[in-house]
Structure 1
Amino acid sequence: MNCFLLVFFLLLAFAAQSQSLSDIQNLKVDDLSDAQIEQLIKRAESNGLTTSQLTALARERGMPAMEAVKLSKRISELQMKVNSSKQIQEGGRGRTVTGFEEVDMFDSIRRSDPYYDLTVKQKKIFGYKLFHNRELNFNPSLNIPTPQSYVIGSGDQLLLDVYGASQQSYDLNVTPEGRVFIPNVGPVQVGGSTIGAATSRIQTALGRIYSGLTGSNPNTFIQLRLGNIRSIKVSMVGELTKPGTYTLPSFATVFNGLYAAGGPNENGAFRKIQVYRDSRLVATVDIYEFLSKGDQRSNITLQDNDVVIVPPVETRVEIIGPVRREGLFEVKPNESLGDLYVYTGGFTSLAYKDRVTIRRIEDNQRKVVDVPSSEFSSFTLLDGDEILIGEALERFSNRVQVEGAVNRPGEYSLEDKGLTVKTLLEKAEGLKPEAFATRATLYRTSADLTLAAEPLDLKGILEGTRQDVPLKNEDLLFVPSRYDVKEEYYVKISGEINYPGTYPFASEMTVGDLIIRSGGLLESATNSSIEIARRVRDSSTGRIAEIKTLTIDPNLELTDEERNQQLQPFDHVFIRRSPGFEREQIVTIQGEVTYPGEFAIASANERISDVVKRAGGMTQFAYPKGASLIRRTIYFQDLTDEEKRINELKEIRDNLDPDFKRKNNEAEETLFDRVDKKIADYDIELQIKKQEAAVQKLSDSSLALDSIRLDSALNAVRMKKQDYVGIDLVKIMGNPGGEDDLILMEGDIIRIPKELQTVRMVGEVLLPTTTRYYNNRGLKHYISKAGGFTENARKSKTYVVYANGDAKSTRNLLGLKFYPRLEPGAEIVVPVKPERERLSAAGWIGLASSLATLGILIERLLP
């Protein structure tokens, strides 16, 4: 009992220690289970610490560096399990209900790992997991035939059946005195007897009333079986996880009792578990025999008041290295190193089996013992021995390799009769057609493990004109490809072509072949003045490239000129734009004209007045003074020719789409499929370009920006895509072609409003508003309509923006202000005064100090 209390308080102290942060420096990480690491993490989080801060705290409070590294590793492993389990759950999760999600992040791995509560050391002890696996159940089966060896005791229920010439059934309960009472017979002593012995006694007793039970030719028979079985009390003491007295079914065995008590603890023996009955040793149980051989002969059935004692382990060794089962193993005094390998499952294929190394503590110091394989069966192990098993060398004794341009590269066996380069190539099923057979390299490993290279003429060896070379162990024959020893040949094409880019070179390729390969010429391309830029291999002349020009047939038929100028590797072909080819350019006229809308620019010098005339002229409601021109700036990003072409193809596809339009004929269906494929190919290419641009943008984001780009407000103004251009449509229409009549550009928008009758006031006025225009009224009149200037108004910088986009500011002359003249549709803008930073107390002190210093300096300089 004292031993039990001691273990109990030690466990409590250990559990408290594993969850405490105040004594974290004294923790032994290998003695903590995953459950205790979890409690440590939760305690840290409740104190506002992250896991990295927890490790840092442990180091600050004196935890050894090795223990801190172990702690960090254990926390990382546990978090990795949590994250992987969480991802698996989320991957298969369907609908969820708010408020019913899993709260405990460790719960999933706690359920999946049956050994979650075990420490690292406990997991290493062979046999320890047997009694801690939640998926394993040692409860005795009660649905088995009545064993004839079962010992009857007080509390058992015996069911007695009489059959044959006579029929009768009896329900008998065993009394505390060990007797059963049979009607018309009396008490029969069965306690302490087996089922077989009790059957004989009851048969003799029943023979007095059933004559057919006895004699040489009986005609009446009996059967005795167990009904409800009794419970027994067994004391489980010693080095157990949960020692105590347990109530078990009478069918329970030693293993059932051990499972109920949690099995041996870290210090408990697994091979010398003793069962005492009536103060006598009746069995010694070896759990290893059960785990390795399935032998349960010593796993006897327990009886009432049995005592199971688990003594401390006497000899425990650790096996480290390539065996089937590493860990801590208990050894009996008469067992050798060879016997131990039965429990480890034997060596793995990587193990070095000729010798093992034993680390041993002897004479208060450590020593190393080498044990050859011949002494495995006789070498005696001591407590605390560490058995280190080495691995086989990463070397081959009979290997040659062939790599490169052969049909079957790889590793081959160096046969006893020898192997040559020629026979190795025959095993590799010969050279590939592209093999560079005149020069291969045989790499050899010297005796001192240095590398040597030997050039070979494989063509001569295969033809017999060169002497064959015998191979040695670890030789590597490398057969290069002719493509490995020269640059990849290619040609490039750019300009007015459907798919410009780089293409593989082919012998006897012409410009026409490359044009067909790259999707054909665009409508804007010219078939003449095609340039070919060719690399210059002799730089002594100072030429960088050799330029050749040619003309091809418009229908891409092969001409003599094209045939005589075949392409060479690395040529760059430039397809020029046809002279005079121009895409249509569109301008828009809006407002008070007879035919507003879009107009194509007819000539390069078409002006505003020309388009107004083509639009039918201005209506009677037009206000020409308020007309304005909106023009694209250099920051306007128009669609490229390729994008415009794709958009046109998309319109064709949409108009041919059978899902939304009428049914197509065969020609239209073919066109639809062809256009749809081109658009799909373009979309794939565009996606790749976007990904590359995103990567480049991320790279450029780290570069320093100039001050203008850092000012977002200024940047927005500076990089506008469209600007208002002030025009005077009255002068333009009165003098067509004059200096006010601007030449139109693509994307221009001409706006001609109706007659305007208002003036708008914005900015630093008391009531920003819009009022009716009054002829011959000045700016101050309209300011008064808005309630006047505010206190923060900068009156001298007031300016007017006219309906056509022009602006005029207030002028100052000899202290007098001359405000701009107002017109219908104008907007008066009153800016705010700039904020002036007030001088702080420190600034005033600094200023006074500077003035004082200046005064002293002047005084000294004056005579």
Structure 2
Amino acid sequence: MRRVFRGAVTGRRLGLGLACAALLVSVAMPVSAQTIELPNGTIDLQRLQGQRGDMDGNYTVPSALDRARSGSRYDDPRLTDPSRGTPSRFDTRDPAGYYGADTELARPSALEQQYSQRAGRRLEQFGYDWRHDGRLVATGLLNGAVPEDYVLGIGDELVVTLRGQVNSTSSVRIDREGRIVLPNMAPVTAAGRSFGEFRDDLTAQAQAAFLQTNVFVSVGSVRSIGVLVTGEVNLPGRYTLTSFSSLIDALTQADGIRKSGSLRNLRIMRGGRTVAIDLYDVLLGTRTVNDLRLQDGDQIIVPAIGDTVAVQGDVVRPGIYELKSGQSTVTGVLELAGGAQRARGNRLDILRLDRSGRNQVLRNAAQGARILAGDILRVELPRDAFAVEGATELPGGRGLAETKTLRDLLSDPYVLTANPYLPLAVIETEDPATRQRRYVPVDLLRVLDGSMNVSLRERDRVIFLSQTDIRYLGSADVQAVLRGEQPPSLKLAMDNQLMGEKLAVSGVAGAAGAAYPGTAQAAGNNGAANRTRGEAQQQPWRGSDDAYRGDRPLDPLLVNPDLAAARSSRRLIGTYADPQNPAGIRLIESDIECGGLQTLAALASEGLQQRYSVAMRSGARRSEDSSVIDVRACPAVFNRHPDLLPFLLEYAVSVEGEVRIPGVYPVVPGARADSLLKAVGGVTLDADGEAVEVTQANGQRATGISLQQLATSTVGPGDVIRISSRVSSREVGVVRVAGEVVRPGRYDIKRGERLSELLRRVDGLTAEAYPYGAIFTRERVRQAEEAGYRRAALELEQSLPSVLAASSGQEAEQARQALPFLQGLIGSLRAAKAVGRVVIEVDPTVLAARPELDFVLEPGDTLLIPKRPSHVTVSGEVLNSSSVMFRSGLSARDYLRMAGGATSAAELSDAFVIYPNGESEPLRLGRFSDGSVPIPPGATIVVPRDPQPFSFMTMTRTVVSLLSDLALTAASLAVINNN
């Protein structure tokens, strides 16, 4: 029979094998002897049949002992087949998958729903969420050392090892007489004795029977016991456990206690007596599991849950607790919840049901007050409290008993952080009549000097602002929203997100996350927002616990209850032109969170920018007007309080001119101007102390005010303060002098300084200087020349369609042939870089004789005086464009002949000369004329192309003039590079 059983156990179908083995044994053996001895213990086949069922649908969960001894991974059919009864809440094969969406623990019980509805936030029953892991129970109790106080019983297997005169190892089982029998030794009584006592007795007898022999005893396998679990458990029934098993193990095999069952009034029926068990002692750590060890034949009864109370608020373990006799005071209930989180200063309120089943509130309960069934104990801050947040070292709740006014709060020098904004703070208070929240501006400087004070009330929130918070008012994002535009930071976030989407579509792995972290952050934040929305829908009783400054939470009672729900909708959403969208636009939610900007955008969309007209005067430039804009991160205070940013802009004062940090600064009416000047960092060194201009909100303007007068005056919201700079005789910038001067270099100039003065500062010209070839460039002229090139290119491009449409025949064919050339010319004009050269007179003697030629210098001017050249450059339509040696008396035709002569495409009648000083003059070359224009050294002769093939076009003259300008520019650049 043993071989049959072992063969069945090693098969794939353990259940069928056990059933077949049990059937064979029952046929071959009498009922009284239906037991099988295994190397690891004894199994009662009648129990085995009862546990496995009769294969007709009856089912009993096998014991942990049987599963451990068989070594199988038992599959509970009710885990996958709902028709087999109530499904188990965990799978012993995968403890990690214990909790699921449809488990009983995941769903609030009726008692939890009732308490949560009364308390306004979710409350859970204490003690029912401990993990049931049958696999760990089964294997863990069969391993490890046996304690000394373990009581041996019939069926335990002992391994006895003798070393010395006799060397042997025997595995013996305690027989039905309670003894063990070893070779050559008298029987030793074991049943009913502790393991330590038995080991000492066996050692003494063995040493008496054998000389110099050591005895080693261990428990090989333990006996099995049967217990009955009934009452409010998920799977009541009879279970086979080990003799090591405790009450917790039996409850684990029964799949735990239901939430309708009691944890404090469990009973164990044992031999006609009752043992009362309170599981709170185990859960709270006042009693060990070993004290709850079971015996064979025990019956565990789990009655229905008794009277309950709930504890919420600032305690260690908020939840629903079961009461027990003698534990019905406030102090006792607080001990169950782990005690209050604050050592003192707590307010204890009791929500008690009246006769109609409705809540009635008992305020300020004493520690010894009696707690009745169904009460909810609330542990909170006293109501006479207010909150401090923002630019403070110690944010959080404060009591009104010690701090009644704002001056009392500021008496502590360490309340404010470094660099606070003192001209204005905000108190968010509550109207006692309407219970509406509103902002009240406060001048902290006047509070500090004692000229004013503000009384604080309960539920007030004092918001201190930092300089960083205030400077955000003039940032590019705020200014863009005031103008009705999208903030630059929003545009950047949208561009990153769209680029990540394009790369992801094109197959770039990780593009949306790795290459563009802003997109990944947006996706993560969106997921967090979705979770927030989901929690808000599933758990409507939860209050707000989301008011933070950085990672430091404020008191939950002083937090806006709508903050958590509103935070999920504070992301900035931008519009993107999407032709594929039927609406023509696409809305993109960025990763930027700023409730203040959202509120400001809503007001701007209503056309209410007039109230912020002063705030719009000073601020960031448009992003297209400057390559550098003031983009700042949204301060957390404006995200927590969305209405605070528009409120501060209404109280704005614009400070412009020569101050350290010009911008928008909010003040209260009647604020001292000197405090505002300190907030902006003071005036700069270039400020004119006698040229201050103040424009009030009513339109009155005062000019010529001194800084001393301004310091003694007051300002109010809507005022504009402008501090002008001193009139300086020094220009901002330098001029550069290079070439043949005695002292070349960079020179700062004063306002109205002339060229002759600069030449004297450089100690004049050297002997090798060539004043006639001086090159003078000016930045303003260069910009004008480039603008002329762009304008000419635009005009030429616009005239091409009309000319092509008006031409016909051969002229049209010529036009089509000339089109590539003209398009290239348009591109050259747009890409051409101008020099900005100005024809000047540098000879000091000429400047002295003709003062009108002595012009005023500007910052950025450049003067280059070359050495006297010895060549003449010939370029354009000649056979060999080059520079030839200058010879006195030679004409322009002579120099052309030295360059190989003109090409067939040359137009000699339009040839011109560029003088070294930058002037140009036509040569007037003809059939019978060599030109009467003198050619000085350093001159450039330009022979243009004959425009006759394009004579059909009306813009021929324009093209020729443009070519001349480009040639002049090229010649000037060549001269500059050579020198």
Same fold flag (TM > 0.5): no
Superposition TM-score, scaled by structure 2 size: 0.37
TM normalised by structure 1 equals: 0.41
